[in-house]
Chains A and B, each alone.
Chain A
Amino acid sequence: MNDQELVQAYIQGDQAAIESLINRHRSKVYTYILLTIKNQQLAEDLFQETFIKVIQSLRGGKYRDNGRFLSWVIRIAHNLIIDHFRKEKQMNSVSNDDTEVDLFNSKKLSDDNIEELIINSQIKTEIRILINELPEDQREVVLLRHYGGLSFKEIADQTDVSINTALGRMRYALINLRKLIEEKKLSLTVY
């Protein structure tokens, strides 16, 4: 079943459909939140909040299906992240950068041999550093585009800029990423 069919099934009372939808998209949604917020505990909380809101919206008939379920979920996650940062700013709390995230604690890697594990970890660390070196507005466009599959029109709406600005940010992000890879002489082959 595709996303649209699962959404319809859930709305009509099939509880298993929402589990299938969450499982299908959980990695992309979680990684998007984690890379944006850079705090594992907070990412887990926001991941749960995101899907609770998704479920409430589906139950409340607020979802208009245009065949872009994942983009819609990512937009909800994005808004919750913004709300979180706004609250945090108001409370003047500490930066999220204080808590480092272990992005490599993946079950997928557990069967690999140690050498490959180390290489994979190094590559992932390097990629994470590259992404973090991007200016915030460029990183936002890159993550929305890749993990949410948002169109540039949707990114523009979501980030409250024109389409040309969204496209420009992506263009500069790609230029910067390629430049950084070249400068750091990185080899990004994952085994």
Chain B
Amino acid sequence: MVKISTLYHRVDGFDESGSILQVTDTLDQVLGDNFLHDLLGPLEVDPGDKLVNAILEQI
């Protein structure tokens, strides 16, 4: 059986110009957002119904 490595396998029609950088940037943003979600999620505070009712009474 012949084994073909996919490590350096070239995909036809794949645009390599600058795409690696864009993918890295997008990945960085996704990872950054996930990190912030994990970090800041627990800090979320509910202002409570009283405050919301005070707004609704004013309109």
- A residues lining the B interface (CB < 8 Å): 15, 18-19, 22-23, 26-28, 30-31, 34-35, 44, 47-48, 51-52, 55, 103, 105-108, 120, 123-124, 127-128, 130-131, 142, 145-147, 170-171, 174, 177-178, 188, 190
Contacts and interface: CB of A to CB of B under 8 A. Distances in A.
A27 B37 contact: no
B46 A107 contact: yes
Given A146-B36, A177-B39, A188-B39, A44 B47 contact: yes
B51 A44 contact: yes
Interface of B: 28, 32-33, 35-48, 51-52, 54-56, 58-59
Contacts of B38: 188
A8 to B, nearest CB: 17
Which of B40, B43, B45, B46 gathers most chain A CB within 10 Å? B45
29 contacts: A19-B52, A19-B56, A23-B52, A26-B46, A26-B51, A27-B44, A30-B45, A30-B46, A31-B44, A34-B45, A44-B51, A48-B58, A52-B59, A107-B48, A123-B42, A127-B40, A127-B42, A131-B43, A142-B36, A142-B40, A146-B33, A146-B40, A171-B32, A174-B32, A174-B36, A177-B35, A177-B39, A190-B41, A190-B42
Nearest to B53: A19
Contacts of A107: 46, 48
Contacts of B42: 120, 123-124, 127, 190
A128 B28 CA distance: 23
A130 B40 CA distance: 10
A147 B33 CA distance: 11
A105 B54 CA distance: 20
A106 B56 contact: no
Contact of A108 (B28, B35, B40, B46): B46
